[in-house]
Structure 1
Amino acid sequence: MTPTSSEMSSTSDRYRLLVDNITDYAVYLLDAHGHVSSWNAGANRFKGYTEDEILGEHFSRFYTEEDRAAGLPARALVTAATEGRFEAEGWRVRKNGERFWAHVVIDPIRDARGALIGFAKITRDLSERKMAEESLKRSEEQFRLLVQSVTDYAIYMLDQKGNVSSWNAGARRIKGYEPHEIIGKNFSEFYTPEDRADDLPRKGLEVAEKEGRFEREGWRVRKDGTRFWANVIIDAIRSEEGTLLGFAKVTRDVTEKREAQLALDRAQLELFQAQKMEALGLLTGGVAHDFNNLLMAILGSLEIARKRALAGHDVADLIDNAIQGAQRGASLTQRLLAFSRKQDLKLQAVDIAGLVRGMAQLLQRTIGPSLEITTAFPLMLPPVWADANQLEGAVLNLVVNARDAMEQGGTITISATKKFLTHERDELKPGTYVCLSIRDEGEGMDATTLEKATTPFFTTKGVGKGTGLGLSMVQGLMEQAGGRLILRSAVGEGTVAELWMPVLDKVEHSVAESERPVAAPAVDRPLTALVVDDDSLVLMNTVLMLEDLGHTTVQAESAAEALLILEQGPLPDVLITDHAMPKTTGAELAREVSKRFSDLPIILATGYAELPNGDGEDLPRLSKPFTQDQLSHVLSTVCGTADA
Structure 2
Amino acid sequence: MRADITERKLAEEALRLSEERFRLLLDGVKDFAIYMLDPQGRVLSWNAGATRIKGYSSEEIIGENFSRFYTSEAQASGKPEQELQHAVSNGRFEEQALRVRKDGTTFWAYIVITPMYDESGVLRGFSKVARDITERRQAEEVVKETREALESQTLMLRSVLDSMAEGLVAVDENGKFVIWNPVAKKILGLGATDLPAQEWTGHYGLYIADMVTPFPVDQVPWVRALRGQASSTQMFVRNPELEEGHWIEVTAGPLRDKQGVVCGGVAAFRDITQRRADEGEIRKLNNELEERVIQRTAQLEAANKELEAFTYSVSHDLRAPLRHIAGFSKMLGETCGSALPEEGLHYLGRIQDGTRRMGTLVDDLLNLARIGRHELRLQVTGLDSVVKDVIADLAPDLEGRKIELKIGKLPYVEGDPALLKVVFQNLLSNAVKYTRPRATAMIDVSVDQIAGEQVVSVRDNGVGFSMKYADKLFGVFQRLHRAEDFEGTGVGLATVQRIVQKHGGRIWAEAELDKGATFYLTLGSTKPANASKAMAMSGETG
Aligned to 2:270: 252
Aligned to 2:496: 471
Residue deviations 1:517-553 (CA, integer Å, cap 9, x gap): xxxxxxxxxxxxxxxxxxxxxxxxxxxxxxxxxxxxx
Aligned 1:498-537 pairs, distance under 5 A: 498-499=520-521, 502=527, 503-513=529-539
Q: Is 1:142 aligned with 2:155? A: yes
- 1:294–1:479 Cα change, 3 Å: closer
The secondary structure found in structure 1 opposite 2:266 is strand
Checking the alignment, whether the CA contact within 8 Å between 1:444 and 1:490 is kept in structure 2 is yes
Aligned to 1:444: 465
Q: Give the whole-Å Cα distance in 2 for the aligned partners of 1:468 and 1:486.
A: 10
Q: Is 1:346 aligned with 2:382? A: no
1:291 to partner: Cα distance: 1.3
- 1:136–1:510 Cα change, 3 Å: same
Q: Give the whole-Å Cα distance in 2 for the aligned partners of 1:328 and 1:271.
A: 37
Q: Give the whole-Å Cα distance in 2 for the aligned partners of 1:164 and 1:493.
A: 78
Q: Give the whole-Å Cα distance in 2 for the aligned partners of 1:458 and 1:272.
A: 30
Residue deviations 1:327-346 (CA, integer Å, cap 9, x gap): 999955652367xxx71223
RMSD over aligned CA atoms reads 6.2
- 1:344–1:136 Cα change, 3 Å: same
Which letter maps to 1:291? A
Residue deviations 1:435-470 (CA, integer Å, cap 9, x gap): 4515373553536844x866xx666349x9539741
- 1:437–1:404 Cα change, 3 Å: closer
Aligned to 1:157: 170
Q: Is 1:234 aligned with 2:267? A: no
Aligned 1:130-209 pairs, distance under 5 A: 131-132=144-145, 135-136=148-149, 138-139=151-152, 142-143=155-156, 145-146=158-159, 149-150=162-163, 152-160=165-173, 164-180=177-193, 192-193=207-208, 196=215, 201=220, 205=224, 209=228
Q: Give the whole-Å Cα distance in 1 for the aligned partners of 2:492 and 2:308.
A: 8
Aligned 1:110-125 pairs, distance under 5 A: none
Which letter maps to 2:237? V
Q: 221, 238, 248: which is aligned to 2:237? A: 221
Aligned to 1:358: 392
Checking the alignment, whether the CA contact within 8 Å between 2:387 and 2:421 is kept in structure 1 is no
Checking the alignment, whether the CA contact within 8 Å between 1:485 and 1:498 is kept in structure 2 is yes
Aligned to 1:393: 422
- 1:266–1:398 Cα change, 3 Å: farther
Aligned to 1:376: 405
Which letter maps to 1:498? Y
Checking the alignment, whether the CA contact within 8 Å between 2:252 and 2:268 is kept in structure 1 is yes
Aligned to 1:18: 31
Which letter maps to 1:510? A
Q: Give the whole-Å Cα distance in 2 for the aligned partners of 1:279 and 1:263.
A: 24
The secondary structure found in structure 2 opposite 1:17 is coil
Residue deviations 1:371-425 (CA, integer Å, cap 9, x gap): 97945135x8467446442222111233466689899999975422364x4xxx3
Q: Give the whole-Å Cα distance in 2 for the aligned partners of 1:272 and 1:440.
A: 47
Aligned to 2:372: 336
Q: Give the whole-Å Cα distance in 1 for the aligned partners of 2:178 and 2:198.
A: 8
Residue deviations 1:495-529 (CA, integer Å, cap 9, x gap): 311356642412322333399xxxxxxxxxxxxxx
Checking the alignment, whether the CA contact within 8 Å between 1:399 and 1:438 is kept in structure 2 is no
Q: Give the whole-Å Cα distance in 1 for the aligned partners of 2:298 and 2:271.
A: 42
Tell me which of the two structures has the higher relative contact order, counting C-alpha pairs closer than 8 angstroms and 6 or more residues apart.
2
Q: Give the whole-Å Cα distance in 2 for the aligned partners of 1:15 and 1:150.
A: 62
The secondary structure found in structure 2 opposite 1:166 is strand
Checking the alignment, whether the CA contact within 8 Å between 1:231 and 1:252 is kept in structure 2 is yes
Q: Is 1:497 aligned with 2:515? A: no
Residue deviations 1:553-583 (CA, integer Å, cap 9, x gap): xxxxxxxxxxxxxxxxxxxxxxxxxxxxxxx
Please identify which structure carries the higher helix content. 2
Q: Give the whole-Å Cα distance in 2 for the aligned partners of 1:361 and 1:278.
A: 46
1:177 to partner: Cα distance: 1.5
Residue deviations 1:96-125 (CA, integer Å, cap 9, x gap): 9xxxxxx9xxxxxxxxxxxxxxxx999966
Unaligned runs of 5+ in 2: 1-16, 35-48, 55-68, 71-79, 99-109, 111-128, 321-361, 481-488
Which letter maps to 2:371? R
Q: Give the whole-Å Cα distance in 1 for the aligned partners of 2:290 and 2:438.
A: 42
Q: Give the whole-Å Cα distance in 2 for the aligned partners of 1:510 and 1:278.
A: 43
- For normalisation by structure 2, the TM-score amounts to 0.52
Percent of aligned positions that are identical: 11
1:355 to partner: Cα distance: 1.8
The secondary structure found in structure 1 opposite 2:491 is coil
1:292 to partner: Cα distance: 1.6
- For normalisation by structure 1, the TM-score amounts to 0.45
Checking the alignment, whether the CA contact within 8 Å between 1:337 and 1:343 is kept in structure 2 is no
Q: Give the whole-Å Cα distance in 2 for the aligned partners of 1:392 and 1:399.
A: 10
Checking the alignment, whether the CA contact within 8 Å between 1:399 and 1:412 is kept in structure 2 is no
Which letter maps to 2:208? P
Q: Give the whole-Å Cα distance in 1 for the aligned partners of 2:453 and 2:462.
A: 27
Q: Give the whole-Å Cα distance in 2 for the aligned partners of 1:242 and 1:131.
A: 31
Q: Give the whole-Å Cα distance in 2 for the aligned partners of 1:377 and 1:467.
A: 23
1:157 to partner: Cα distance: 1.0
Q: Give the whole-Å Cα distance in 2 for the aligned partners of 1:198 and 1:411.
A: 86
- 1:203–1:146 Cα change, 3 Å: closer
Aligned to 1:488: 510
Q: Give the whole-Å Cα distance in 2 for the aligned partners of 1:272 and 1:409.
A: 53
What is the aligned length? 396
Aligned to 1:291: 309
